[in-house]
Homo-oligomer: A and B are copies of this chain.
Amino acid sequence: MISFARGVPGPDCLPLEEIGDCTLAVLQRPERDAAQYGPPAGFPPLRELLAERHGVDPARVFVSNGSLQGLAFLWQRLLQGENKRVLVEAPTYDRPLKILQGLGAEVTGVPMDDGGLELDALERALDEGPKPAFLYTIPTFQNPSGRTLLLERRRQLVDLAEAEDLLIVEDDPYGLVRFEGDPLPSLLELAPAGRVIYSCSFSKTIAPGLRVGYLVLPPELAAAVEAIAVSTYVSPVIFTQAIVWEFLRTGLLEPNLQRAGGLLRERRDAMLGALEREFPDGASWSRPEGGYFIWLDLPGEVDAGALLSEAEAAGVTFVKGTDFFAGPGGESSARLAFSFAVPAEITDGVGLVAEALRKLLGRVAPLPATV
């Protein structure tokens, strides 16, 4: 089975040798603290390093076992009151949707276009109901769409949030996974203090198996999130946080982003090229400059679930669009992850999906000449 389903780095993207070196280094610390319990907010040297990078106080940095666990703690706190209204992008990452639903949130999806969240639609959503507890957004190389919020819209979003006193939760696991174009400022960087809570992860920039992600929180929320963490797991995985600290401290991140980014660019190019060659008129897709995902809109309102069944029977899998919407939407769309399969598999896999699509469209013959 060729998988376009999960947002997982290929095994060749992982810097295993460097991780081994960093492990040996932190185990030799005279403090002997890398395999010990630690503070609930994480390994102190890593918190300090991340605080310096973001220009904030270390007390505002909360490091958890992957960023999703940090978001789960944060949302448990933010939704403990009466206000359960939450705005998300439509589509948005499916796992946070499940966490929000589990916490009893009333989730409203705000439409996106190729430039990211549509701000007119956001204004309407704000007008149509009580002030939400927060907006959850992935502005850069979004999961699932691969779309990036335009710079001008970032500024407008921050202004709107200020005017409407809207709290923004910015999830940024892919911001550093850029393999072309110029970096954009995060919402955290653009906004006045306290307006944006920032979430990030090393799953896509070092390795997911380490499960190290972090939040940058307003000071008043940091203590509350720590209290939830200590009750849930005593302390997070100090061992892998120490390894990430060593990785960053010794300058291994930038070369790793270059190397893994090169592999990812080849995969994205293979997928874009195959889509261009294989897919019929009426289909459209995003063209991200980084990240892991391409969003595919099918022609003729073909049902993506039916396409998935056909594709899986042919040996390729993806995620259907409906999984990424809180309400209706995505029925004729799909998320294609290009991060895991190698270029030749991607070319073959897109060909198989296109063939399945032609079958559903009743255009089984004649087959176009494929490469």
Q: Which residues of A does B touch, CB under 8 Å?
A: 6, 8-9, 11-12, 14, 16-17, 19-20, 23-24, 27, 31-38, 65-66, 68-69, 72, 95, 98-99, 102, 203, 207-211, 230-240, 242
Contact = CB atoms under 8 A, between A and B. Distances in A.
Closest 10 CB pairs of A and B: A35-B207, A11-B32, A35-B209, A209-B238, A209-B239, A211-B237, A69-B233, A98-B231, A37-B208, A23-B23
Contacts of A33: 11, 209
Main secondary structure of the interface of A (DSSP, over half): helix
B68 A232 contact: yes
A66 B240 CA distance: 14
22 contacts: A6-B37, A8-B36, A11-B32, A12-B32, A14-B36, A16-B34, A17-B27, A23-B23, A35-B207, A35-B208, A37-B203, A37-B208, A65-B236, A65-B237, A66-B234, A68-B232, A69-B233, A95-B230, A98-B231, A207-B239, A209-B242, A210-B239
A213 B133 CA distance: 35
B207 A36 contact: yes
A35 B14 contact: yes
A69 B232 CA distance: 6
Given A11-B31, A65-B65, 19 more contacts: A6-B37, A8-B36, A11-B36, A14-B35, A16-B32, A16-B34, A20-B23, A23-B23, A24-B24, A68-B232, A69-B232, A95-B231, A208-B234, A209-B237, A209-B239, A211-B235, A211-B236, A211-B238, A237-B240
Contacts of A207: 35-36, 239
B8 A19 contact: no
Contacts of A6: 37
A27 B19 contact: yes
A173 B45 CA distance: 29
A211 B8 CA distance: 23
A16 B11 contact: no
A325 to B, nearest CB: 17
Contacts of A65: 65, 211, 233, 236-237
A77 to B, nearest CB: 12
Contacts of A208: 35-37, 234-235
A235 B212 CA distance: 12
Contacts of A17: 27
Nearest to A210: B239
A165 B36 CA distance: 39
B231 A99 contact: yes
Contacts of A20: 23-24, 27
B235 A37 contact: no
Contacts of A69: 232-233
B232 A72 contact: yes
A292 to B, nearest CB: 12
Nearest to A17: B27
